[in-house]
Amino acid sequence: MKLTRVFAFMAMAGLATSAFATNGYFAHGYGMKAKGMAGASTTNTEDTFFGANNPAAATFVGNRLDLGVDVFSPVREFSNTTAGLTVESDSEFFLVPEFGYNRMINNDLALGVTVYGNGGMNTDYPPFPDNSNYLGGTGPMGVDLMQLIVAPNLAFKFSPNHSVGIAPLLGYQMFEAQGLDGFTGFSTDGESLSNNGHDGAFGYGVRVGYLGKITPTVTIGAAYASKMNFEEFDDYAGLFAEQGDFDIPENWNLGISWRATPQLRLAFDYQRINFSGVDSIGNPVMNLNNCLGGDFNSCLGGDTGPGFGWDDVDVWKLGIEFKHNQQWTFRAGYSHTDSPINGGDFTNAEFGEVTFNILAPAVIEDHLTLGFTYTLASGNELTMAYMHGFENSVSGPSLFNAFAPAGNEEIKMHQDSLGIQYSWKM
C-alpha cells in the first residue's frame, strides 16, 4: 500500500504546475519542517527531504515517508511610473507537491528518494484592449517555467556521529513564453521566440553533503549541488542564450544547529546560488547593444545573447523549533537575501533589466515563516507551515529609452504560502 502511494504521488508531482520561487527560482525551503524554519535545513534530520537539502542527513532519519503540498500565492505587478500604467499578473494560486522516502539498510547505510519542484518564472499579464501588450507583442504576455527534480539518495555513516551522502539529480522542466513577438527583430530565430506552447527538456546534476554531530547539542552540515545541465528548449532557441539553453545553477549551503535545551533548537543556514553561471539567466540585458551593432551572436538566442541579468545571491536563514510536549512542536523562522535583479541606470550594464524582468519579477528579499507538527498516537505526524514573503520592488529606466523616451518602470511582488504534510514512520 505504501509503495502505491509513493508512485502515485511521484506521478502527481510530475504533473503539478510549479511556480514556487522565493529566492530567484528556488523555494525558500524544501519539506514543511524546513519551511516552518525559513528553510534552515542543512542540519535537519527529521524528514526525508535530504535530497533537496543535505544528502548526508538520511542516516539519522530512520524509516519514514513524507507527502506534502503547498498552496502558493505570488502577487506580481509591473508599472511604468512615468506613464501611470500598472498591470498585475492574473495567475496567483498554485499547488506545489513534494515527496520523500527513506529506508535504513543497516545502522550505517540509508537509501531514499526526494521529489521536489522549482519554478516561479511564471507570469500571465492580460493584453491591452487593442490586444497588444507592453512589450510590443500581441495577446497575453508572460512565461511559465516548471521544474521537477527526482533525487535518489545514498548516505553512509562512517562513524557514529558523522555521515556523508550523494544524491544524483534527475530533472525534467517545461517552459512556455507568450506575447514576446515584439522582439522578433532582435532574435536569432524569430520562429522559436514566443507562442510555441510548452517545450520540455531533461537534465542532470548531483548533490553531495556532510553532516556531523560535533557535540550532543551541536550539529554542523554542508552540501553542494552542481549545475544541472538540461537539454535546450528547441521551441525557444530564439529566446534563451545558447540556442534555448536553460540550466539550474550551482548552489551550496552551510548550516549549524544548537539544541539549547531538550525542548529548544536553533538552526542557522547560509546558502549561495550562482545565477551568473547560467548564461540565459545571468547575461546582461544590454548585450542587446551588440546585437543592434551587428553582432548576431548577441541577439536573443545567440551564444552571448541577453539574459535576465540576475546576480549571484547569498541567502541567510534563521529558524527556531520548540518541542512543547510529546504531541506538539512549534517552529518559526526568518530569512533574508538580496534581489538578484537591479534597476540600473542609463550608464551601466544593468540598464533595461527591469523591462526584461517584468516576465520574472524575482525581487523578494525577506521571508517570515511559522509552522507546527502534531504527532499522533501511532507516531505518524501532521505538519503545517506558513510563509509570507514581504513585498519588495525594483525600479529603473525602461529598456525602450534606447529608442524613444519611455520613462521608468517598477516591478513588485509579495507572496504567501500554506502547506501541509503527512508523515508515516515505518
| Contact present, 319 and 331 (Cβ < 8 Å) | yes
Alpha helices in 327-413 (DSSP H): 353-356
Residue 8 has pLDDT above 50, yes or no: no
In 3D, which of 226, 259, 251, 206 has the Cα closest to residue 43? 259
Cα 381 from Cα 383, distance rounded (Å): 6
| Contact present, 339 and 362 (Cβ < 8 Å) | yes
Predicted local confidence at residue 21, as pLDDT: 65
Residue 4 has pLDDT above 90, yes or no: no
Instruction: State the average pLDDT over residues 215-223.
Output: 98
Cα dist. 283→21, 226, 349 in Å?
20, 19, 10
| Contact present, 393 and 400 (Cβ < 8 Å) | no
Residue 18 has pLDDT above 50, yes or no: no
Residue 12 has pLDDT above 70, yes or no: no
pLDDT digits (tens, 9 = 90+) for 357-383: 999 899 999 999 999 999 999 999 999
Q: Which helix (H) or strand (E) element contains residue 382?
A: strand 381-397
Residue 14 has pLDDT above 70, yes or no: no
Q: Which helix (H) or strand (E) element contains residue 15?
A: helix 2-15
Domains of the chain: 2-425 (2.40.160.60)
Cα 229 from Cα 277, distance rounded (Å): 11
Predicted local confidence at residue 5, as pLDDT: 47
Residue 93 has pLDDT above 90, yes or no: no
Average pLDDT along the chain: 91
Residue 402 has pLDDT above 90, yes or no: no
For residue 230, name the pLDDT band (cuts at 50, 70, 90): very high
Neighbour-count burial of 388, counting CB atoms closer than 10 A to its CB (0-12 exposed, 13-18 middle, 19+ buried): middle
Range in 21-30, 231-240, 269-278, 364-373 the model is least confident about: 21-30
pLDDT digits (tens, 9 = 90+) for 243-283: 999 999 999 999 999 999 999 999 999 999 999 999 999 99
Cα 315 from Cα 330, distance rounded (Å): 23
DSSP code string of 101-156: EEEEEETTEEEEEEEEEEE-----BPPPTTSB-TTS-BS-BEEEEEEEEEEEEEEE
